[in-house]
């Protein structure tokens, strides 16, 4: 019943590949098909010879027919399940119409050592097959093999033995086609996996470096370490591209890297989520989860695959349970409108689906899946979503570093930086530039009469008037309490005076609502123009003109040189 529920749940996430080409009784007829355009999945009924290595003509009386991909410890012969330990031969005959073509097979996950024979010739092997455990050498070797045939019937035999892993047999689809198409499949897979590896690895180092520079929260360092561990896992899973770098890596070490990688990375991921949403997760659950994960990693490191492989399935379901708990807590954070919770919630949903997919596939509850391990793709999507959260965080930080919180104008620091750039440009082109320094007349009286809240309202209204009165090219900033500055690029004294006067008149004619009273304010302005002065000198002279305006009665513009 449970298996059926899982299958119903995953039908929207797994493509159950219905073959256009029906393999029945160990035979596939492709003589009327154009293999130039497609690659064939060799899924269906293969001949199966239990506890036999068939090198030439098989004993017909001993053959059965079994579906691949599937592990053989799920097969029944004479109403009896066969054991995981042992050896067997798979056989398929394919009829083609071209004997001058170079053909290929893309081999995925075969557990655990095997030989591939085509038309009674050994084409490739992984590890050492044997009828007894003592002579058996396991190996993980996804690969592509190419061959020519002098017969329109291609006789494929795959001899497999396993004595030390919980599952046995051909677990993933075998692809068949002409060599160039098989090579393209390999290329696509290679490019995709290297892309995922590079993207996840870069994001890992990027997050760690940002933490060391104190640019983002410390939680991101956990995420960075998690990404690096997952990048390593991408190399050792699916088509195991680590074999391109270390072709002679020991099978047991290879498997330990895979299992320890995700066992050790899980508590890192827990720490990341916990630090991101501190108020929503039980510290006790986080600690227990971390201890259990690390204990399992230690068991894997110091025991053989024949032992820890049986514990692994329980550990995988435990991971799923904890991730569902995380989903519930992040859902609470989303309901409470916590920043970044929506993006991380979507990412966790994708991760849950991915973990479900990978666990159910690993436990043979689902027989066919789009890819052997969907976690790298889910992780990549999660990273993109988290990067979006990070980008929003950076954008806000940058804006906060530039903008005055009350008036939403540029702050003093950014005003100076932007004005210096404009001065350099104006000097190169021998152009005039001007600055206006202005403040609100009798602002202390406003604060005393209406309080600081009333003063803030006046400042906000004053900022709005200034913003509406300047040109797009002008730079407007709040440089003090009630003091503001406007830098006017490529503006001579006459033009600067006109702009200042326009602002003064508009301020004078604007009524501001304070405690249900219409209040008028005025402003005094100092203007200075040059084509050679430094910014600090320009500000100094404009400030002097501002004080001249105040001393001569206020509500005036002074631009004397």
**Higher per-residue pLDDT: 526 or 8:** 526
Lowest mean pLDDT, pick from 51-65, 129-143, 311-325: 311-325
Pick from 475, 489, 495, 497: nearest CA to 542: 497
State how far the Cα of 213 lies from the Cα of 17, in Å rounded to an integer.
49
The answer, yes or no, to whether residue 397 has pLDDT greater than 80, is no
CA distances to 325, 339, 354, 487 from 328, rounded to whole Å, are: 5, 16, 17, 53
Above 70 in pLDDT, residue 361? no
Output the average pLDDT for the chain: 83
Of residues 314 and 554, the one with the higher pLDDT is 554
The CA distance from 39 to 188, in Å, is 13
- Span 49-53, average pLDDT: 93
| 405 DSSP assignment | T
User: What mean pLDDT comes out for the span 160-177?
Assistant: 89
477-501 pLDDT, tens digit each: 998 888 999 999 999 999 999 999 9
Instruction: State the CB neighbour count (10 A cutoff) for residue 332.
Output: 14
Could you write out the DSSP letters of every residue in 334-375? HHTT-TTHHHHHHHHHHHHHHHHHHHHHHTTSSS--SSS--H
C-beta atoms surrounding 548 within 10 Å:
15
Question: What pLDDT score does 366 carry?
Answer: 54
Higher pLDDT, 391 or 417: 417
Highest mean pLDDT (candidates 248-252, 284-288, 387-391)? 284-288
Residue-level pLDDT at 78: 85
Q: Given this model, what pLDDT does residue 289 score?
A: 83
Dmax (CA) of the chain: 117
What is the pLDDT, as a whole number, of residue 373?
57
Contact of 90 with 170, CB cutoff 8 Å: yes
Check residue 221 and give its pLDDT: 82
pLDDT at residue 12, rounded to an integer? 39
**Residue position matching structure tokens 């509500």:** 555
Stretch 217-236: mean pLDDT? 80
Q: What pLDDT does residue 369 have?
A: 46
Return the pLDDT at 215: 58
**Does residue 154 contact residue 145 with C-beta atoms inside 8 Å?**
no
Q: Higher confidence at residue 7 or residue 405?
A: 405
Higher pLDDT, 168 or 255: 168
Choose the most confident range, by mean pLDDT, from 94-103, 224-233, 308-317: 94-103
Residue 6, pLDDT > 80, answer: no
Q: Give the closest residue to 66 by CA, choosing from 85, 83, 89, 86.
A: 89
pLDDT the model gives residue 328: 85
d(CA 174, CA 45): 13
pLDDT the model gives residue 400: 66
Is residue 348 over pLDDT 80? no
pLDDT above 90 for 545: yes
Q: Which two tokens stand for residue 531?
A: 């084509």
Tokens for 136, please give them: 């058996």
Closest CA to 478 of 470, 486, 469: 486
pLDDT score of 10: 41
Residue whose C-alpha is closest to residue 512's, from 444, 416, 440: 440
What are the tokens at 404?
């005055």
- Distance, in Å, from the CA atom of 242 to the CA atom of 189, rounded to the nearest integer, reads 14
Kind plus residue range of the DSSP H or E element containing 199: helix 179-212
Q: Which of 16-30, 308-322, 506-520 has the lowest mean pLDDT?
A: 16-30
Higher per-residue confidence, 267 vs 529: 529
pLDDT at 359: 62
Residues with Cβ < 8 Å from 523, sequence gap 6 or more? 438, 439, 440, 441, 462, 503, 504, 507, 508, 555
pLDDT of res. 84:
86
Per-residue model confidence as pLDDT tens digits over 180-221: 999 988 888 888 888 888 888 888 888 788 777 665 666 778
C-alpha dist (Å) from residue 505 to 485, 498, 523, 544, 558? 17, 11, 9, 21, 14
pLDDT of residue 187: 86
Distance CA 329, CA 554 (A): 60
Q: Are 322 and 289 in contact (CB under 8 A)?
A: yes
Helices (H) and strands (E) in the chain, counts: 13, 22
Confidence band for 27, pLDDT divided at 50, 70 and 90: very high
What pLDDT band is residue 476 in, cutting at 50, 70 and 90?
A: very high
Structure tokens at 452: 């600081």
When computed from its CA atoms, the radius of gyration of the chain, rounded to whole angstroms, is: 36
Higher pLDDT, 192 or 1: 192
How confident is the model over 64-111, as pLDDT tens digits? 999 988 889 888 888 888 988 999 999 999 999 888 889 999 998 898
């Amino acid at each position: 019943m449970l298996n059926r529920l899982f299958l119903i749940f995953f039908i929207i996430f797994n493509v159950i590949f219905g073959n256009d080409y029906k393999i029945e009784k160990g035979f596939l007829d492709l003589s009327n098909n154009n293999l130039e355009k497609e690659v064939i999945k060799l899924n269906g009924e293969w001949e199966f010879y239990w506890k036999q290595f068939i090198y030439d003509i098989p004993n017909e009386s001993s053959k059965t027919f079994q579906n691949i991909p599937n592990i053989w410890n799920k097969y029944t012969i004479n109403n009896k399940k066969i054991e995981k330990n042992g050896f067997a031969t798979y056989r398929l005959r394919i009829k083609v119409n071209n004997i001058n073509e170079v053909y290929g097979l893309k081999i995925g996950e075969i557990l655990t050592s095997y030989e591939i024979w085509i038309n009674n010739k050994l084409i490739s092997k992984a590890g050492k097959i044997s009828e007894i455990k003592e002579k058996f050498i396991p190996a993980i070797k996804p690969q592509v093999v190419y061959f020519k045939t002098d017969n329109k019937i291609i006789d494929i035999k795959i001899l497999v033995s396993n004595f030390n892993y919980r599952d046995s047999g051909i677990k993933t689809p075998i692809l068949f086609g002409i060599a160039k198409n098989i090579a393209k499949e390999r290329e696509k897979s290679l490019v995709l996996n290297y892309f995922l590896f590079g993207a996840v690895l870069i994001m890992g180092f990027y997050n760690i470096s940002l933490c060391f520079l104190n640019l983002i929260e410390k939680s991101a360092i956990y995420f960075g370490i998690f990404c690096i561990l997952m990048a390593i896992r991408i190399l050792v899973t699916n088509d195991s591209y680590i074999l391109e770098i270390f072709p002679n890596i020991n099978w047991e070490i290879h498997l330990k890297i895979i299992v320890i990688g995700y066992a050790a990375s899980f508590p890192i991921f827990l720490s990341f989520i916990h630090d991101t949403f501190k108020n929503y997760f039980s510290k006790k659950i986080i600690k227990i989860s971390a201890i259990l994960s690390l204990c399992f990693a230690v068991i894997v490191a110091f025991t053989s695959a024949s032992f820890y492989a049986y514990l692994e399935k329980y550990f995988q379901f435990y991971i799923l349970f904890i991730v569902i708990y995380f989903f519930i807590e992040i859902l609470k954070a989303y309901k409470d409108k916590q920043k970044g919770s929506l993006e991380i919630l979507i990412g966790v949903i994708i991760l849950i689906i991915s973990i479900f997919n990978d666990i159910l596939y690993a436990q043979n509850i689902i027989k066919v899946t789009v890819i052997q391990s969907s976690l790298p793709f889910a992780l990549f999507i999660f990273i993109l979503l988290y990067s979006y959260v990070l980008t929003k965080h950076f954008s806000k930080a940058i804006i906060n570093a530039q903008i005055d919180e009350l008036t939403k104008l540029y702050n003093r620091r950014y005003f100076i930086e932007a004005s210096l750039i404009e001065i350099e440009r104006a000097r190169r082109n021998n152009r005039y530039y001007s600055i206006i320094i202005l403040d609100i007349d009798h602002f202390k009286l406003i604060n005393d009469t209406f309080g600081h809240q009333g003063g803030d309202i006046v400042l906000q209204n004053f900022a709005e008037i200034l913003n509406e009165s300047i040109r797009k090219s002008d730079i407007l900033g709040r440089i003090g309490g009630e003091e503001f500055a406007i830098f006017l690029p490529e503006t001579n004294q006459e033009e600067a005076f006109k702009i200042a006067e326009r602002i003064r008149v508009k301020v004078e004619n604007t009524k501001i609502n304070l405690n249900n009273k219409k209040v008028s304010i005025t402003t005094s302005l100092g203007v200075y123009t040059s084509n050679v002065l430094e910014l600090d000198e320009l500000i100094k002279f404009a400030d002097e003109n501002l004080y001249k305006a105040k001393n001569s009665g206020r509500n005036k513009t002074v631009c004397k040189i």
